[in-house]
Amino acid sequence: MRRRSALVLTFLLALTLPQAALAKGEFDPAEEWELHEWVPIHIGPLDLSINKAVAYLLLGALVSCVIGIVFMRVKIGGGPGRRQALGEQIYEIAQTQVAEQGLPTKAIGRWFPYVATLMVFIWTVNMLGFIPLPLSDEKVEIGGVEVPTLAIFAATSTISVTLALALMTWMFTHIEGIRANGVVGYFKSWIPDVPKAMYPLIIPLEILGQFMRLISLSVRLYANMLAGHMLILTFIGLIFVLENVFLAVVAVPAATAFYLFEVVIVVSIQAYIFAALSAIYIGSAIEPEH
């Protein structure tokens, strides 16, 4: 039974990428990031259409809610089972590694939920990006029924998603900074201890630095996920670009190695980094060093 399911899985996996690439005749990895409208929703100038990235985001939100409820809410405290231990481990990482690294003690109560949610949500969306799911624009016929091919795509590999997440952190940083230190006190805390003559040089740099945070926070996550998917796609795609089956001997192990590297290390590290940096930014706005 297990062998049969493994066979079916391999067959399905083999169907996904080659099918998509062969159908086109030529292979362009960038086409994976073209978003087509599935359910067009236009409100005035706003484009709220549901496309591939939105579907992945909704799924990610659902799965991260389920993770939170299953591991940390349902039947907790009876006897420490494996499920509860895992839930506690997630919570502990969020508390000791993320929140306590950046947030001052008085702000943990208010901002712990935000950074912990960021961590779980980004991890889930990243992880969903490496599980082949039937959510793609390509269609394949199986037994006369058109179904979407299995494909890997992460919502976090589109800049709009990561920019929205980064904007949220950025707004909260300034709101909390002003709330804790007052408008004048907060903006004064941007300026480091330097002689007054240096001010014309330092102040524009510091203001620019605040905007650079926004860019670095969003581009880091975006580019990491984009490059990971691009590498895997390109290695598999080499077989079809050069039209040589024997390349698979090199390309498939290389793609598998990159896949494992992404799943084991990058997915978790990026989720952790995004949450930890959010905590550090918010914490440093509440309690400036000088």
Q: For the CA atoms of 55, 57, 157, 235, what is the dihedral angle to 10 degrees?
A: -50
Q: How many helices (H) and strands (E) does the chain have?
A: 10, 4
Question: Whole-number minimum distance, CB 105 to another protein, in Å?
Answer: 17
Note the residue count of the chain. 290
Contact 111, 95 (CB under 8 A): no
* Backbone torsions φ then ψ of 286, nearest 5 degrees: -70, -45
How near is the Cβ of 274 to another protein at its closest, in Å?
Answer: 9
- Give the residue with the Cβ less far from another protein, 128 or 217: 217
Q: Which is nearer to another protein, 111 or 186 (CB)?
A: 111
Whichever of 31 and 138 has its CB closer to another protein, that residue is 31
Using the minimum distance from each CB to another protein, give the nearer residue, 173 or 224: 224
As measured in angstroms, the least distance from the Cβ of 86 to another protein is 19
Burial class (CB in 10 A: 0-12, 13-18, 19+), 4: exposed
> Closest distance between another protein and the C-beta of residue 229, in Å?
13
Residue 116 phi, psi dihedral angles, 5° rounding = -65, -40
The answer to whether 126 and 226 are in contact (CB under 8 A) is no
CB 156 to another protein: min, Å: 13
Q: Hunting for tokens 């950046």 — which residue is that? A: 102
Contact 36, 50 (CB under 8 A): no
Asked whether the beta carbons of 78 and 151 are under 8 A apart, the reply is: no
Q: Residue 153 or residue 186: which is nearer to another protein going by CB?
A: 153
CB of 69 to another protein, least distance (A): 27
Torsion (CA) 85, 88, 89, 93 in degrees, nearest 10: 180
Q: Which one, 149 or 162, has the nearer CB to another protein?
A: 162
Per CB under 8 A, residues contacting another protein are: 97, 101, 216, 219-220, 223-224, 227, 269-270, 272-273, 276-277
